[in-house]
A = this chain, B = another copy of it.
Amino acid sequence: MTFSSICFEQGCWFKDIRIGLLGASGYTGAEIVRLVANHPHFGVTLMTADRKAGQSMDSVFPHLTAQKLPRLISIKDADFSTVDAVFCCLPHGTTQEIIKRLPTSLKIVDLSADFRLRDISEYEEWYGQPHKAVELQKEVVYGLTELLRDDIKKALLVANPGCYPTSVQLPLVPLLKANLIKHDNIVIDAKSGVSGAASLLIIMIFFFHQDTGAKEANLYSEIAEGISSYGVTRHRHVPEIEQGLSDVAQSKVTVSFTPHLMPMIRGMQSTIYVEMAPGVRTQDLYQQLKSILLYEEEFVKVVDEGVVPQAHNVRGSNYCFVNVFPDRIPGRAIIISVIDNLVKGASGQALQNLNIMFGLPETTGLLHQPLFP
């Protein structure tokens, strides 16, 4: 219905690219479905969810009830010859083994953390298990779209970035590249809504559910009206951030990174405290970001001077809003970057990447506006 009425109205007659969705029963999977609903070329024709196999998608996610969707099946029953591309929303660890068995003709965007770290010893250190697809890792392109779109264009397998790394690297990489900020003493105080990706949830479970006892149904009470620093210095997004910053800094960058869980369903803010290079002023940072971002990028916006980017202003959309502020301490600056963790921080950027991999305008299907209030 959705599909045919759009197509009728727009003059297209079919969705010509068939999408498989692995791990459809999580939030990032559901978000892919939401976004693809209005995409003129992509149509979801295969959906797997092992624990929900046999169920309809709308029995798991009633908000998707208006769409015509294939029934959920077990991944072992999936026929990958019927799809042209795959979004993989599976937990880390299992992802590697599944992806390495997929037909090599498929374009794949992986939303897990399994292929984000180039250095497999670092993967093993942070994820506590050896990497199981070492050869494949070498061919992976890291999918931070705005910074790597030329590589993405040619990729077959894209490792979609984590939400925190996206919000941090989008402003920091251009500033490091231009030598406007120092490499050391970068302090990142990040605040996230609770709908984040797997690694966030796993830590939440660890924190709040140390035994599966009486409190397991009370997570609302634990999160509403509170704030909680978690994974202080140990969050798994740290090596991904440091990999990206080190690449551009051309030396090993170690950051201070403290994520906070907030009473907010979607949304993420990174407040980043940096030391500027000698002689550099806040205004230079602003101009640098504005010059490279504003005129070229649809999805990354440097807002007006003095305006504080707010997570609720990008809710539900693929935008990242950024700004730079002077610090009271001379020589320092404060950068604020906001995204929707489920869109630009996960499923939206995945769709943006697949658009590029198919030679489509990268904004295709992603131009709906933020939902505010």
Contact = CB atoms under 8 A, between A and B. Distances in A.
Nearest to A30: B372
Interface stretch (A4-12, A95-103, A140-148): A4-12
A227 B269 contact: yes
Contact of A25 (B213, B238, B315): B213
A65 interface: yes
Nearest to A27: B373
B233 A26 contact: no
Contacts of A74: none
A341 B336 CA distance: 25
A314 to B, nearest CB: 7
Contacts of A67: 369
B219 A263 contact: no
A184 interface: yes
Interface string A78-92: 000000000000000
Given A326-B233, A361-B5, A221 B332 contact: no
Interface stretch (A169-177, A204-212, A283-291, A344-352): A204-212
Nearest to A198: B214
Interface stretch (A151-159, A243-251, A303-311): A303-311
A223 B220 contact: yes
B228 A308 contact: yes
A194 interface: yes
A205 B218 CA distance: 10
Contacts of A195: 218, 221, 373
B213 A263 contact: no
Interface string A179-209: 0000011010101011100000100110011
A133 interface: no
Interface residues of A, number: 114
A26 B229 contact: no
A220 B91 CA distance: 21
Nearest to A232: B325
A316 B66 CA distance: 14
Query: Which residue, of A11, A211, A217, A256, has the highest number of chain B Cβ atoms within 10 A?
Result: A217
Interface stretch (A34-42, A112-120, A123-131, A160-168): A34-42
B191 A329 contact: no
A254 B302 CA distance: 28
Contacts of A11: 10-12
A238 B329 CA distance: 12
A45 interface: no
Interface of A: 1-2, 5-6, 8-12, 25-27, 30, 33-34, 37-38, 40, 51-52, 59, 61-67, 184-185, 187, 189, 191, 193-195, 201, 204-205, 208-209, 211, 213-230, 232-233, 238, 254-258, 260, 262-267, 269, 271, 273, 298, 301, 303-304, 307-308, 310-317, 319, 321, 325-330, 332, 334, 336, 342, 361, 363-364, 367-373
Given A38-B369, A67-B369, 18 more contacts: A1-B298, A5-B361, A25-B215, A34-B371, A51-B211, A62-B310, A63-B317, A63-B371, A63-B372, A64-B369, A219-B219, A219-B220, A224-B224, A227-B310, A229-B336, A256-B273, A262-B263, A368-B368
26 contacts: A26-B214, A34-B369, A34-B372, A37-B367, A62-B307, A63-B312, A64-B370, A65-B301, A189-B189, A189-B273, A191-B191, A194-B220, A205-B217, A216-B216, A218-B373, A224-B225, A225-B225, A225-B265, A225-B267, A225-B315, A230-B308, A232-B308, A255-B329, A256-B329, A256-B332, A316-B316
